[in-house]
Amino acid sequence: MSLPLKWEFPGGKIKPGESPEDCLRRELVEELNVKVSVKGVLPSATYDYPDLKVTLYPFICSIEAGKLHANEHAALLWLSLDELPSLDWAEADLSLIVDYCRQRNSVQP
């Protein structure tokens, strides 16, 4: 664990020949015991940590099968968009939340 006790969205490293969507589907089965359907794609974001550079590929998904279970993590939470900023997020993940909230707030129904 490179960022212990920080909250992160589920996901992982993309394997050779794997699309970001396929990676997410695989990782969610491994990490959370659920199968998902990708409903939307959000802009990717790259973040430079002091010793690591990561690119996150966020998606909007719905659970199609399975029951949430933390297979690889100490805890998991399902939160509303308004509740997300209350957690101690890894910096790369926090930048996605800030961008997504800014985008959502700029769109008027």
Largest CA distance in the chain: 42
Which domains does the chain possess? 20-106 (3.90.79.10)
Is 11 in contact with 46 (CB distance < 8 Å)?
no
- Residue 81: how many other CB atoms lie within 10 Å: 10
Distance CA 25, CA 27 (A): 6
pLDDT tens for the chain, 109 residues long, are 466 688 999 888 999 999 999 999 999 999 999 999 999 888 898 999 998 899 999 998 999 999 988 887 778 888 888 898 889 999 889 888 888 887 777 654 4
Distance CA 36, CA 33 (A): 10
Global confidence as pTM: 0.81
